[in-house]
A and B are shown apart, each in its own frame.
Chain A
């Protein structure tokens, strides 16, 4: 049985009085312990899917099931890592990681030792007493990951967690996330707009189109880890995804910028080993 299941999910928001449909008939499943990426251009509603599974938003129609039961609200068994970390600035790094344990009523000594253990896991032992404003973007995301993992969630939801980081930091954190996942084996849903990131990390990639978000494709990536960007099998996946998304990106640009934008043919056919076109 799949652990997370979205059945015929629709979601609309009110925007200037009119209903704006962001998700259209989404069906997806995630098995226990699976690493799934949701990949799509900005504005395709992939973050909304994360929010729905987290219980932060309710679908307009359809069912969201976790372990066969409908999601009714947020729960510490489904933790979220947000793109901008969303750390509590008034708490130290340790305080941030202890937060969820404190909410759960764990006694101080135990929550401290558990928080320290997870801070070690994300290599932040030296920064236990620092405050968020003193940390770099990458370090903030490490805290956010530790803060989400310390609650030992069954499902870890990551909403473009590395989107704002430089390429070097991103690649380091991707590898560390994989290591942690192999260790603790939570189910992971990872949202990204980066094709290389999705294919490098996931067991399966859902490709989502925009306005409204629809699932266009789902690809199982069976390439064993550790994966290398030059692996031809990965490149084949990337190429296929870019083909599907190329039309999508063009559609988005045309909607946003009007018909004056010219798209050279080459953009769709760019070989996937070039970084061009990797970020959609």
Chain B
């Protein structure tokens, strides 16, 4: 047993070096233990190892289920791409042009203040019960934070960096593209990481309410059918995808950027 754990650790540590480990294994073990304890105490609570995980496993053999995942992934990919485009360019415009900031700055903050799920009704009115309603929900649920963080990053470039650049002849657009924007990258990456989390929530809310085929819509189905084990399996999957994408891509990216920018 000890050897297996050590071997697993070694593999895990090669995949995820310390500094951005995905999950603490002790925490995972505690989680499973508490879950099983609850299942043992309450007959209505399904066992994780005996019930929920096997259900999740068999779900993956269901082609409809796999299509739902692919559908969700596609909407998230389109939505998140739009979030990056709109968020970064919007933040750059706000940070660069005082007039745009005065006119639209508080609008970006207001959009950011509205939870993703609250955009679903408006999205349905505009786009109907379609995939685009879901994508629009992701965009409005997640672009605000990227705009705000990009804008902040551009405003908060360390003065010494600006001064050094000016003494070497940087001005105007050159100064902006080669100094201000790169200096803002840690903030932008931080915003993108948060936007992933917000976007993922918005995706679920959108699918839940529009009944476009996807993971969110399946939540709705199994809840209506009172299939608790199915519901828990889905929720675990949703959490796992959120954690894994954040850990593998965003947490890692943010960490590496912070190291290079000398912020760690």
Interface of chain B residues 35 through 82 with chain A (CB within 8 A):
none
Judged by a CB distance under 8 angstroms, whether B183 is at the interface is yes
Chain B neighbourhood of A89, CB < 8 A:
260-262
Chain A neighbourhood of B179, CB < 8 A:
88
| Nearest CB of chain B from residue A188's CB, rounded to whole Å | 15
Judged by a CB distance under 8 angstroms, whether A90 is at the interface is yes
State A73–B167 Cα separation when bound (angstroms): 9
Residue in A54, A74, A100, A131 with the greatest tally of chain B CB atoms within 10 Å: A74
Pair B169/A86 contact, Cβ less than 8 Å: no
Mostly helix, strand, loop or mixed at chain A's interface? Answer: loop
Judged by a CB distance under 8 angstroms, whether B185 is at the interface is yes
Pair B167/A80 contact, Cβ less than 8 Å: yes
Residue among B160, B169, B182, B259 making CB contact with A76, cutoff 8 Å = B169
Count how many chain B residues have C-beta atoms less than 8 Å from C-beta atoms of the other chain: 20
Pair B169/A90 contact, Cβ less than 8 Å: no
Chain A neighbourhood of B170, CB < 8 A:
99, 103
Given A133-B260, A151-B169, are A90 and B160 neighbors across the interface (CB < 8 Å)? no
State A99–B169 Cα separation when bound (angstroms): 9
Judged by a CB distance under 8 angstroms, whether A220 is at the interface is no
Chain A neighbourhood of B227, CB < 8 A:
none
Judged by a CB distance under 8 angstroms, whether A104 is at the interface is yes
**Contact mask for chain B residues 178-202; partner A; CB cutoff 8 A; 1 contact, 0 none:** 1100110100000000000000000
Pair A99/B168 contact, Cβ less than 8 Å: yes
**Contact mask for chain A residues 90-103; partner B; CB cutoff 8 A; 1 contact, 0 none:** 11000000011011
Judged by a CB distance under 8 angstroms, whether A247 is at the interface is no
Chain A neighbourhood of B163, CB < 8 A:
51, 56, 80, 82, 86
| Nearest CB of chain A from residue B83's CB, rounded to whole Å | 23
Pair A56/B166 contact, Cβ less than 8 Å: yes
State A80–B261 Cα separation when bound (angstroms): 21
State A84–B164 Cα separation when bound (angstroms): 11
Pair B169/A80 contact, Cβ less than 8 Å: no
Judged by a CB distance under 8 angstroms, whether B122 is at the interface is no
Pair A103/B168 contact, Cβ less than 8 Å: yes
Judged by a CB distance under 8 angstroms, whether B174 is at the interface is yes
Pair A88/B161 contact, Cβ less than 8 Å: yes
State A211–B178 Cα separation when bound (angstroms): 38
Chain B neighbourhood of A73, CB < 8 A:
166
Residue among B167, B174, B183 making CB contact with A90, cutoff 8 Å = B183
Chain A neighbourhood of B183, CB < 8 A:
88, 90
Chain B neighbourhood of A79, CB < 8 A:
167-168
Given A80-B164, A82-B160, A90-B182, are A100 and B169 neighbors across the interface (CB < 8 Å)? yes
Judged by a CB distance under 8 angstroms, whether A75 is at the interface is yes
State A147–B170 Cα separation when bound (angstroms): 13
State A148–B166 Cα separation when bound (angstroms): 12
Residue among B165, B169, B185, B262 making CB contact with A132, cutoff 8 Å = B262
State A213–B115 Cα separation when bound (angstroms): 55
When C-beta atoms are compared, the residue in chain B nearest to A104 turns out to be: B169
Chain A neighbourhood of B185, CB < 8 A:
90
When C-beta atoms are compared, the residue in chain B nearest to A75 turns out to be: B169
Given A86-B161, A88-B161, A88-B182, are A74 and B259 neighbors across the interface (CB < 8 Å)? no
Pair A86/B160 contact, Cβ less than 8 Å: yes
State A151–B182 Cα separation when bound (angstroms): 22
Chain A neighbourhood of B178, CB < 8 A:
99, 102-103
Chain B neighbourhood of A55, CB < 8 A:
167
| Nearest CB of chain A from residue B25's CB, rounded to whole Å | 30
Chain B neighbourhood of A74, CB < 8 A:
166-167, 169
Chain A neighbourhood of B168, CB < 8 A:
76, 79, 99-100, 103, 147-148, 151
Listed from nearest, the 3 A-B pairs whose CB atoms lie closest are A100-B168, A76-B169, A86-B164
Can you sample 30 A-B contacts with CB below 8 Å?
A: A51-B163, A55-B167, A56-B163, A56-B166, A56-B167, A74-B169, A75-B169, A76-B168, A76-B169, A80-B163, A80-B167, A82-B164, A86-B160, A86-B164, A87-B164, A88-B161, A88-B165, A88-B183, A89-B260, A90-B260, A100-B169, A102-B178, A103-B165, A103-B168, A103-B169, A103-B178, A104-B169, A131-B260, A147-B168, A151-B168
Known contacts A56-B167, A74-B166, A74-B169, then 4 further A-B pairs from the complex at CB < 8 Å, ordered by chain A residue: A80-B167, A86-B161, A86-B164, A102-B178
